[in-house]
Every structure is written in C-alpha cells, then in structure tokens.
Amino acid sequence: MGVSLKDVAQRAGVSIKTVSNVVNNSPHVTPQMRARVQQAIDELGYRPNLTARHLRKGRTGIIAFAVPELGNPYFAELAGAVIDAAARHDYTVLVDHTAGLRERELLVCQEFRSHVIDGLILSPIHLETADLVARHETSPLVLLGEREYEAPYDQIAIDNVAAARTAVRHLLDLGRRRITFLGSRTGQERQPAHLRLRGWREELAAAGITPDESLVVTTEGYGRADGAAAVTALLERGERPDAVFAYNDLIALGAMRTLTERGLRIPEDVAVVGFDDIEESRYGATTLTTVSPDKQAIARLAVDRLVDRLSGKPVAGPQRIRPGYRLVVRESSGGAGQGPPPEEGARGAAGD
Amino acid sequence: MGVSLKDVAQRAGVSIKTVSNVVNNSPHVTPQMRARVQQAIDELGYRPNLTARHLRKGRTGIIAFAVPELGNPYFAELAGAVIDAAARHDYTVLVDHTAGLRERELLVCQEFRSHVIDGLILSPIHLETADLVARHETSPLVLLGEREYEAPYDQIAIDNVAAARTAVRHLLDLGRRRITFLGSRTGQERQPAHLRLRGWREELAAAGITPDESLVVTTEGYGRADGAAAVTALLERGERPDAVFAYNDLIALGAMRTLTERGLRIPEDVAVVGFDDIEESRYGATTLTTVSPDKQAIARLAVDRLVDRLSGKPVAGPQRIRPGYRLVVRESSGGAGQGPPPEEGARGAAGD
DNA sequence: GTGAAAGCGCTAACAC
DNA sequence: GTGTTAGCGCTTTCAC
C-alpha cells in the first residue's frame, strides 16, 4: 500500500541504503545525491514506516502513562507534565486509564502492548505487591502514587504521612479539634487513603487528641459526588465537625458544596483542607487550602528514571524517590483571602 | 533479547506455524498439540511481539486523539469517553496534546507517527483549511470542535451557533439585556470562539437588541485565569453587565470568582452561563448554567466513523455530523437551586 | 492438522 | 560514498 524505501530507490535510480542515508540525515551523502533522492521522496510522498524501524531497532520511543481516571484533574495535569517531560527526551506518551480496576492495572503492567511501549509509568490503586513480583514483563516500570510496595521497581511519591500531618497540624493550629477525615474505604487498609489517614491519626495523637474514628468517613470513590455524600452522611448522623481534611481536592470540593448548602460557613464554622492542588482549588467562590505535591518534579523524576533505564545507562537499583510538596493556605481554612496570585493564575488551559 | 515464536517452536519441537496457530487461537489445532505448545510458551515466558505483527498486518490497532490541552476538564472527560468507545472496537488510544500550537497540530496530522497510528481524531485550534488540503497522509482523520473546514474530512461538532443562541435566549428570557461575551480573540474571526460569538450576535439581534461590541471581551487563553482577567478588565473600564455568556466553563468559573470578589451577586446582579458542562460546573458554591454537548455521542461518533473507514467498509464521503446538546440550567442563572441531582452527581472520579 | 518459505519495511554490517 | 545482504518477529500462502 504505502511507498517504501525500495520504491524511492527505484525512482531515484539509487540503492535502498542511499535513500536510507538521506532519510536518516547521514553525513556521508553528497549534496547532489541528497537532492536527487529528496526529489524522488517528495514526488512519491514517501514517509518512513516507523513500525518497521521499531521492529528493527527493538524499541519504539513510546512510553505509557497509566492512571486510574483522566477525569480527575490531578491526573490530567500530571499527564500534561509527563508528556512534556517525555518530549524533552524524544519520547511519545501513550496515556491510558485503568478506571481504577485491578484487572486493568494488571493488564497494563503485564503483557499488554508488549513491544509497543518501551516502558511504563503506572499509578496503581488495587495492585498488590504479589502482582508486581509476579510480573513477567522485563520493560522498565516506574510506580507513582500513595501505595508502597515491596517490589523491585522505582517508586515515586511524596511522603504522604508527613504531608497529611502537615495539613492536620495546620487545622490544629487554627484551634480546630473535631477534624473529620474524608476518603477512607472500609476494611481496605492498603488502599490509597491509608497513609493519609495514618497521618491524620498520628498528628492528632501527637497533639494529645484521641482520634475519633467516628469522624472518619468512608467514600465509595474519589470524586466530588463522594465528598458531597460523605458530608451528608456525617451531618445526618449528628456529627458537628469544625474541620474537614479530605483525601483529595475533589472530595474536598464536593464536601464544601454540601457544607455550604447546609448553611455552614467556610471557614468560620468548618475549615476545609484538600490534597492535590488542582487548578480548580484556586478558583472557587471559596478557594481551597490544600497539600500541593510538586507535579512537575513527579513527572520529571518518573520520566528521567525510565529514560535512564531505557538508555541502558548504569542506574542504581530500585529506589523510593520523594518529591517535594507544600501546604498552600487559602480561604477555606481562613488563609490569605485575596484570591489567586497572578503568577499562579497565569496559566490558562486551551479552549475547545 | 525477547523470546520469539521460533524459540517456542524449537522448545516444543513443532513448527513456527503451529505455535502461531496456538497463539492466535486458530481452531485447527489438536488439543494435545495446543497443550504442548502452551507449556513451552509458559516455560519460556513468551509474549508476542506486537510490533512485528503490526508490520506484517499493516495496521497497529492504535488511534490517536489529539487535543489542545488535557488540563481542560472538557478534553479530559472527552478523552475518557474516546478511550472507552475505542476499547469497544479493540482499539487503543494514544492521547496527545498540541498545547494549542499550530506547529504541533500540523505535525500531528502530517507524517508524525506515520504507520504507528491507524487513524487520528483531532481537535484543532489553529489549523487552516489549506493545511488540511495539503495533507499528505492517507490515514483517516476525523475533526472535532468548533472550527469548520472546507476539507474532505469528517467533522463532528454540535451546532455552535444554535447552542450559543440557546444560551443567550435563556439570559434574555431572564430579563437580562447587557449580556457580555467572554472569550473571543481580537481579529481572529476564524478562531474557535467565532461561532459562539456569532450566536451571541444573532440572538441579540433577533431580540431587537443591537449587539454592543464593547461587551465582547478578548481573552488570551481559555482558562479560569482568563475569565477572571476578562471580568476585571470589564469592570475596570466601567461596564456593568447583568449577564455573562462565556466561551467555555473554565472562563465562566474564573469570571464568577472575580464577580463574587467584587461583591456582585450571582445570579441576582449578574447571571452566568458557560459552555461544556464539565463536572466542576455542578459543584461550585454556585453551580453553573451551561451548554452541555453530548460528550458520549461525540466520542462515539468520532470513533465509529474512524473505525468504519479503517475497516474498509464502504462509507459515505466526508460528512458534517452534529451531535446533540442541551442547556443545563443551574444556580448561576437562577435556575433550580437544589444542587446536583443524584444521577448526575453519581459519577465519581478515581483517586490518586 | 502441520511444515516450509516468503516477505512486511527497515537498519546495520560489510563489501566495493 | 554507495551498493548488497541479512535479518528483526510475525503472518500467510501453499504444500504435504
């Protein structure tokens, strides 16, 4: 169907190798030869078949980035950062979503797309250490996110316990005592929310407060609707928290919506702190205080790590890498009430 | 490096063809032969090399979906829908972003990744008809979004003029007369905002109101920050609109933030209508009235169209397809003030 | 039902 | 500098 090197060679009256040299900008081609070949290329509309090149070279230049949900702005923003970081190394990114299903996480890190992607960056939710240990695939894998594994792969995640403690500390400093945690799942201690919940427990204990487990609210998912539902449930069973620490910004935003609907003022009656620092948290009627992981660093570290392994460079064994984070205080906890500062607000997403 | 069919064949003491038959679930293999080969496959940890298969078959099963900005939830949500629609046809999606740069849009629809992707769904911003006409690539291309081209490709977009008119009609029905439009770019009549702006003009004119061009505010980009800046500019030059119709939800949300900061009440003082119906618009302190394009339909139509052409089915020539849309009235225009209805809010994004 | 051989389009050795 | 050749791993005739 397509035009191949052979066709071009025939047309230009040269050998395949010469055409290949021209296409690959080999220095050992005379200008007039280059011109002659180029003309044939243009006339025939030749385009190199990357699949064939990949087969020959044993690598494709594609890395996959698999996240639970693209609809969560945190991952969308992270994906953008990964694409940019990869582009700097001439890698293309295949963005994938697992919909938070264990089955799809397994598929992605197993044989799926074997030899089509050179490496994988995966943000798992349900994967177990055993799944990882049993992995057949030999292509490099970098893990992202809150879960920690005893498996021989690079893992990149901020210190979730410490970050959560910082958030809770902030609420305690504000004089809040009945701090609810939104986002744990029942009986799933190894679920993502685990570490942040532990931070909540530890910081409360450190402040001499016995963590009241009735203030921990189970959610089904990690979206705005879950945050809204959690607050509804909480209020209906008569709890009156003076602060909310949510597993992520989406849950926090959903919670804020319901709190406001119920006539509770933020932050006067209830202070709210989220996690992720998605752009949206800077633009609500009440801006959201949140733990801000350094997404650029996360993306860069993950891609660099992967590319190093891919390039065959001697790289140290699997590591746990801890990117930075910071607590961004905004209106929802009574912080600086002046709205988004110019430099933060300057980035604009493109339209449709 | 990898284990190939040949290795497995050797191990099992059969021919390559037989192994291939087993791998591809060909019916013409005896059970015991299948078992024997399967054992060799398991022992060696064989995985088919998809690159080689692709080269041989001339197709890869990958389609690309290129958007201006993944950080815009509209595109992130659409990407999720495209991935799901493609999965139903056993296609994998390569999500790409062009960062709204013409250069990258050109690259994506030209030779880029030639033979790696079978087809492309592109949402362009800066591409011109001429660029499309000059396209060399023969792989199928489906165009999405507001811009319309005189080029031989399928184009899928809601009727932007009519949708915008519906939005403005709604504001007029509410008794608003000074309706500002946020999101046009100066002197770029063919820019995306063009059709929605035309809808604004037409509907005002139809209502006997001369469109006041000083109520059209230019923005640099399409994000929350742009909406915020636009309103600031508008108010500072002394305008007092009683309604805002924004090019998209992000601009609308940014605008709402600034309006509230300036002490203007929504919707009492200023009614706001957006465009896109991103999930966020259902969860702010004030929920956002917006034009809701049917994203599922857009994704499905685009993928189906592409897959039909890919499968070599006889398909009618290039078409303009118009998916549905509806105006969702929420609090920002004084609509039903009861917050997100359960069925809409039920969808939860996964965590990190 | 299974085997042998050709070739998808390309690159990398190696000759000339 | 340029041409020739041998595969990369797979599927696909076509024999047997």
Residue-wise pLDDT for B31-73, tens only, equals: 888 999 999 999 998 888 889 988 898 889 899 999 998 889 9
For A229-233, B242-246, B314-318, which range has the lowest pLDDT when averaged over its residues? B314-318
Instruction: Report yes or no on A235 lying in a domain.
Output: yes
- Region A114-133: what's the mean pLDDT? 90
Q: What percent of chain A has pLDDT over 70?
A: 92
State pLDDT tens for residues B78-108: 999 999 999 899 898 888 888 888 888 998 8
B49 CB-to-strand D distance under 7 Å = yes
Please give the residue that has the higher pLDDT: either B339 or B77.
B77
Instruction: Report yes or no on B56 lying in a domain.
Output: no
What is the CATH number for A44? 1.10.260.40
Tell me the C-alpha distance between A265 and B163, whole Å.
36
Looking at the structure, do residues A98 and A79 belong to the same domain, yes or no? Answer: yes
Instruction: Report yes or no on B53 lying in a domain.
Output: no
A window 160-179, beta carbon within 8 A of B: none
Tell me the C-alpha distance between B170 and B301, whole Å.
28
- Region A79-104: what's the mean pLDDT? 89
In whole angstroms, D7 C1' to A56 CA is 9
In whole angstroms, D3 C1' to A14 CA is 9
- Region B127-149: what's the mean pLDDT? 90
Cβ atoms of residues A126 and A146 within 8 Å: no
Indicate yes or no: CB of A50 within 8 angstroms of CB of B345. Answer: no
B21 CB-to-strand C distance under 7 Å = yes
Nucleotides of D under 7 A from a protein CB: 1-5, 7-13
Looking at the structure, do residues A126 and A44 belong to the same domain, yes or no? Answer: no
Looking at the structure, do residues A347 and A203 belong to the same domain, yes or no? Answer: yes
Looking at the structure, do residues B224 and B343 belong to the same domain, yes or no? Answer: yes
Nearest to B352 among A137, A276, A352 (CB): A276
State pLDDT tens for residues A140-156: 999 999 888 999 999 99
pLDDT given for residue B111 in this prediction: 66
Q: Which nucleotide is nearest to A28 (CA to C1')?
A: D1
Cβ burial A54-86 (10 Å sphere, 16+ → b, else e) = bbeeebbbbbbbbbbbbbbbbbbbbbbbbbbbb
pLDDT band (50, 70, 90) for residue A3: confident
Nearest to B282 by CA among B252, B242, B303, B305: B252
Indicate yes or no: CB of B49 within 8 angstroms of CB of A55. Answer: yes
Looking at the structure, do residues B279 and B300 belong to the same domain, yes or no? Answer: no
β strands within chain B, DSSP E: 62-67, 92-97, 119-122, 141-144, 154-156, 179-184, 216-218, 243-246, 271-275, 289-293, 320-321, 325-328
pLDDT given for residue B347 in this prediction: 33
Place of tokens 């600034």: B258
State pLDDT tens for residues B112-124: 777 889 999 999 9
Q: How many CA atoms lie within 13 A of B117 on its CB side?
A: 29
Start-to-end Cα distance in chain A: 35
pLDDT given for residue B344 in this prediction: 34
Across the strands, what pairs with B290?
Answer: B274, B328
Q: Which residue of A has its CA nearest to B220?
A: A348
B55 CB-to-strand C distance under 7 Å = yes
Reduce the DSSP state of residue A288 to 3 states and report it: coil
B window 87-116, beta carbon within 8 A of A: 92-97, 99-100, 111, 113-116
Indicate yes or no: CB of B95 within 8 angstroms of CB of A95. Answer: yes
Indicate yes or no: CB of B352 within 8 angstroms of CB of A76. Answer: no
Instruction: Report yes or no on B55 lying in a domain.
Output: no
Nearest to B167 by CA among B344, B326, B339: B326
Tell me the C-alpha distance between A88 and B124, whole Å.
23
Instruction: Report yes or no on A55 lying in a domain.
Output: no
How many angstroms away from the CA of A297 is the closest CA of chain B? Answer: 16
Average per-residue pLDDT for chain A: 89
Instruction: Report yes or no on B67 lying in a domain.
Output: yes
- Strand pairing of B325-328 and B289-293? antiparallel
Looking at the structure, do residues B128 and B230 belong to the same domain, yes or no? Answer: no
Tell me the C-alpha distance between B172 and B231, whole Å.
20
The number of folded domains in chain A is 3
How many angstroms away from the CA of A14 is the closest CA of chain B? Answer: 24
The boundaries of the domain holding residue B94 are: 62-158+295-321
Instruction: Report yes or no on B57 lying in a domain.
Output: no
Nearest-10 crossing angle of helices B16-23, B5-12 = 110
Give CA separation, A274 vs A214, A253, A343, B53, B272, in Å.
19, 8, 21, 47, 27
How many angstroms away from the CA of B208 is the closest CA of chain A? Answer: 30
Nucleotides of C under 7 A from a protein CB: 1-5, 7-13
Reduce the DSSP state of residue A275 to 3 states and report it: strand
Looking at the structure, do residues A216 and A153 belong to the same domain, yes or no? Answer: no
pLDDT band (50, 70, 90) for residue B9: very high
Looking at the structure, do residues A256 and A212 belong to the same domain, yes or no? Answer: yes
What is the CATH number for B122? 3.40.50.2300
pLDDT band (50, 70, 90) for residue A157: very high
Give CA separation, A214 vs A75, A308, B110, B205, in Å.
30, 47, 58, 59
Looking at the structure, do residues A179 and A119 belong to the same domain, yes or no? Answer: no
Looking at the structure, do residues B230 and B334 belong to the same domain, yes or no? Answer: yes
Q: Which residue of B has its CA nearest to A135?
A: B45
A17 CB-to-strand D distance under 7 Å = yes
Tell me the C-alpha distance between A66 and B110, whole Å.
26
How big is the CA angle at B248 (ends B246 and B250), to the nearest 5 degrees? 100
Instruction: Report yes or no on A56 lying in a domain.
Output: no
Reduce the DSSP state of residue B50 to 3 states and report it: helix
How many angstroms away from the CA of B341 is the closest CA of chain A? Answer: 10
pLDDT given for residue A111 in this prediction: 65
Nearest to A352 among B111, B145, B345 (CB): B145
Cβ atoms of residues B319 and A191 within 8 Å: no
Q: How many CA atoms lie within 13 A of A204 on its CB side?
A: 21
B window 235-264, beta carbon within 8 A of A: 247-248, 250, 253-254, 256-258, 260-261
Q: Tell me, yes or no, if the pTM score tops 0.85.
A: yes
Looking at the structure, do residues A99 and A150 belong to the same domain, yes or no? Answer: yes
Looking at the structure, do residues B209 and B343 belong to the same domain, yes or no? Answer: yes
Helix (H) or strand (E) holding A66: strand A62-67
